Amino acid sequence: DIQMTQSPSILSASVGDRVTITCRASQSISHWVAWYQQRPGKAPNLLVFKASSLENGVPSRFSGSGSGTEFTLTISRLQPDDFATYYCQQYHSNPQTFGQGTKVEIK
């Protein structure tokens, strides 16, 4: 199975900050990566697919990039609603696998 490793595991930031989360795949997965946001006690919410395509209705302050084995999710100006846990997911190979998550917390 393809392993997805995110860094950092916890990120402390303030409203208005620019934050970047990194996800590394254990082998090349082209651009087959999605990113999700999960708030406590809620289901995940799709933000980005195909590494850089923004899902309908997702604010433009979110952006994704990368290809091969290294991918990033950037939030350009952190808003109060953005304090949550973020997961990357590869869908290059079966089974689809997720990163361990990055918790974005208030500094």
Among residues 25, 86, 99, 104, which is the contact residue for another protein, using CB under 8 A? Answer: 99
Binding range to another protein, per CB under 8 A, among 12-20, 22-30, 42-50, 70-78:
42-50
> What angle (nearest 5°) sits at the alpha carbon of residue 55, between those of residues 6 and 31?
50
Residue 36 binds another protein (CB under 8 A)? yes
Per CB under 8 A, the list member of 21, 49, 73, 82 interacting with another protein is 49
Using CA atoms, how far residue 26 sits from 3, 5, 35, 62, in Å, is 5, 8, 17, 25
Q: Is 86 in the site for another protein (CB under 8 A)?
A: no
Report how many residues bind another protein under the rule CB under 8 A. Answer: 20
Beta bridge partners of residue 103, listed in sequence order: 10, 85
Residue bearing tokens 């999605």: 34
Radius of gyration of the chain (CA): 13
DSSP state of 56: T
By CB under 8 A, tell whether 66 contacts another protein.
Answer: no
Interacting residues toward another protein by CB under 8 A: 34, 36, 42-46, 49, 55, 87, 89, 91, 94-101
